[in-house]
């Protein structure tokens, strides 16, 4: 499945978010800085407004990833937003702004400010380090959308959003609530209902399913293996749950070179585990 064009222009309840994104775009686009909707608002656009499902968690802000070539460019962007009169913020909190409507807008810089390890170190002293692995790949396969007021924007796809949630879960699970884990579980649990059920019967109709393997005893950490593999998916990241004895590792692409195991914020297995081998046939950047 190639990137999709989605129309949310008749969703009047998104008018405030549309106004805030339009105000950021008015400053960013002349600077040739692409924007990408990520985070919980991206989740809501897919889950609630595209497929009519309950995201089970309320968000009160908009996260925008900004592909800036350098830190000076990010500062210029932020200063331009403040000078527009549409936004206010604290000088010491570079990523956070508040739109004139009252909506909080968080900016996540990536691309030209990343290190070789795909991380950013916030100025001035670089003490706060943030993992931005996956943002470039998400941007490359983003959906084009239309918001109320005919505001155009780019939206992270669901597979890309799942990868970003894994990264942020690992990055801040000790300092933040479990919202990233919640959103990841929502995407996995509702994945078929989120526009993929027809794909199950069309693209995977001839793929044999392996029987469920029952654990030998209650004390063992047996795993139920659910597999959906696309014939055209050339690369699969290693199993996300390395304690499963029947895990089958396979080579990852350069886009997913860091093992998925390293993205998980826990070291020991849960009492019961279900291993999903997730393919991303609808987003080849994440196969």
Residue 72 CA to residue 146 CA, distance in Å, equals 30
pLDDT of residue 202: 87
DSSP helix/strand/coil, 98: strand
Low-confidence ranges of the chain (pLDDT < 70): 1-3, 173-177, 209-287
pLDDT of residue 169: 86
Domain ranges of the chain: 5-189, 204-287
**pLDDT value at residue 59:** 86
What CA–CA distance (Å, rounded) separates 140 from 143?
A: 9
> How many whole angstroms separate alpha carbon 145 and alpha carbon 167?
25
83: left (phi over 0), alpha (psi -120 to 50) or beta: alpha
What backbone phi and psi angles, to 5 degrees, belong to 285?
-65, -20
Among the four given CATH numbers 3.30.460, 1.10.1060, 3.40.50, 3.40.91, the one describing domain 5-189: 3.30.460
Alpha carbon distance 121, 172 (integer Å): 15
| 3 state DSSP class of 63 | strand
3-state secondary structure of 33: coil
Q: What is the pLDDT of residue 70?
A: 97
Q: What is the CA 47 to chain-centroid distance, rounded?
A: 13
Give the pLDDT confidence score for residue 177 in this predicted structure.
63
What's the rounded Cα separation, in Å, for the pair 102 and 263?
Answer: 34
Looking at residue 3, its pLDDT comes to 65
pLDDT for the residue 66: 98
Task: Tell me the pLDDT tens digit for each residue of 49-76.
Answer: 999 999 888 888 999 999 999 999 999 9
Task: Confirm if 103 and 20 have CB atoms less than 8 A apart.
Answer: yes
Phi, psi of 145 (to 5 degrees): -130, 160
**The model scores a pTM over 0.85:** no
- Find how far residue 41's CA is from the centre of its chain: 10
Residue 87 pLDDT:
97
Would you say 93 and 87 are in contact if contact means Cβ atoms under 8 Å apart? Answer: no
């Amino acid at each position: 499945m190639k990137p999709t064009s989605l129309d949310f222009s008749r969703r009047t309840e998104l008018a405030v978010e549309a106004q805030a994104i339009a105000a950021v775009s008015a400053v960013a686009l002349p600077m040739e800085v692409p924007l990408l909707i990520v985070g919980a608002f991206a989740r809501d656009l897919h889950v609630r407004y595209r497929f009519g499902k309950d995201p089970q968690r309320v968000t009160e802000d908009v996260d925008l990833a900004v592909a800036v070539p350098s830190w000076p460019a990010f500062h210029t962007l932020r200063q331009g937003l403040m000078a527009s009169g549409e936004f206010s913020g604290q000088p010491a909190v570079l990523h956070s702004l508040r739109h004139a409507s009252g909506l909080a807008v968080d900016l996540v810089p990536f691309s030209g400010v990343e290190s070789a390890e795909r991380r950013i170190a916030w100025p001035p002293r670089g003490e706060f380090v943030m993992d931005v692995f996956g943002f470039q790949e998400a941007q490359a396969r983003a959906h084009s959308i239309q918001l109320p007021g005919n505001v155009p924007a780019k939206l992270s796809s669901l597979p890309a959003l799942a990868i970003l949630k894994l990264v942020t879960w690992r990055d801040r699970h000790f300092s933040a609530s479990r919202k990233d884990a919640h959103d990841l579980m929502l995407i996995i649990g509702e994945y078929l209902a989120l526009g993929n059920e027809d794909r199950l019967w069309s693209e995977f109709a001839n793929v044999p399913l392996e029987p469920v393997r029952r654990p030998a005893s209650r004390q063992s950490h047996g795993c139920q293996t659910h597999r959906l593999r696309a014939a055209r998916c050339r690369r699969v990241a290693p199993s996300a749950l390395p304690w499963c004895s029947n895990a089958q590792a396979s080579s990852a692409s350069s886009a997913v070179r860091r093992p998925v195991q390293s993205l998980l914020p826990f070291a020991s297995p849960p009492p019961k585990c279900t291993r999903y081998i997730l393919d991303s046939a609808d987003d080849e950047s994440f196969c």
